[in-house]
Every structure is written in C-alpha cells, then in structure tokens.
Amino acid sequence: MSEFVKIGTTADLPKEGRVKEFTAPNGRPLCVARVNGEVTAMDNECPHNGGPLAEGMIEDGRVLCPWHGWAFDRRTGAAEHNAAAVVEVFEVRIEGEDVLAKV
C-alpha cells in the first residue's frame, strides 16, 4: 500500500512552468512539475524509450519528454497521442515546508 513520503522541501521545487527530478526514499526517480502554482509528480521514465521526463519541459501544461517530444498530461499521466502510453502519477501534498508524494 502506498503512503506519503517526504521527497523534498518547498525550496527544492521547480520554478513555475518547469520540471525537476526528485528521488523518493525508495530510490524511485520522480518528475515533479509546477504549473499555475499546482505541484504534480509522475514517474520520471518515458514509456517510449526511457527518456528522463524531468529533463524535459512544460508546454501547454503538459510534460514533454526531452528525447522525442512525447507529451504527457501531468495530472493523469496519459500520453497525448497514444492512450496506451501512460506514466504513473503520484498524489502530492505540501505540509509546512515538506513536499510529500504518495509512492
């Protein structure tokens, strides 16, 4: 069963409209995005070819893979062009200065 774990602090968060890699305590890399003040987290590996999503960018509110431009909805993990390509999304909450993700 998943539980909330600390992945960083609010000072570590990406700037508005950007993504950044965080690592969960279990070693799992996460792609954390900030769009319109909302912080979201998803698996950091693109299902297409393993690209590091946190090295990509935000475009129209979606996370773009830096390798081949696949676009993912940061709230659902669904790829824009292929319904079968989905990355896992994790619930995020902020408690004080701590950023927590349910992984």
Taking only the tens place, the pLDDT of each residue in 11-52 is 999 999 999 999 999 999 999 999 999 999 999 999 999 999
**Alpha-carbon span 45 to 79, nearest angstrom:** 13
Using pLDDT thresholds of 50, 70 and 90, give the confidence band for residue 90: very high
- Please give the tally of structural domains in the chain: 1
Which residue range forms the structural domain that includes residue 93? 4-102
Using pLDDT thresholds of 50, 70 and 90, give the confidence band for residue 2: confident
> What backbone torsions phi and psi does residue 100 show, to the nearest 5 degrees?
-115, 145
pLDDT exceeds cutoff 70 at 53? yes
The enclosing domain of 74 has a CATH number of 2.102.10.10
pLDDT exceeds cutoff 70 at 100? yes
**Alpha-carbon span 35 to 19, nearest angstrom:** 9
Give me the count of residues in the chain.
103
pLDDT of residue 82: 87
pLDDT of residue 1: 58
pLDDT of residue 51: 96
**Alpha-carbon span 28 to 30, nearest angstrom:** 6
- CA angle (97, 64, 4) in 5-degree steps: 30
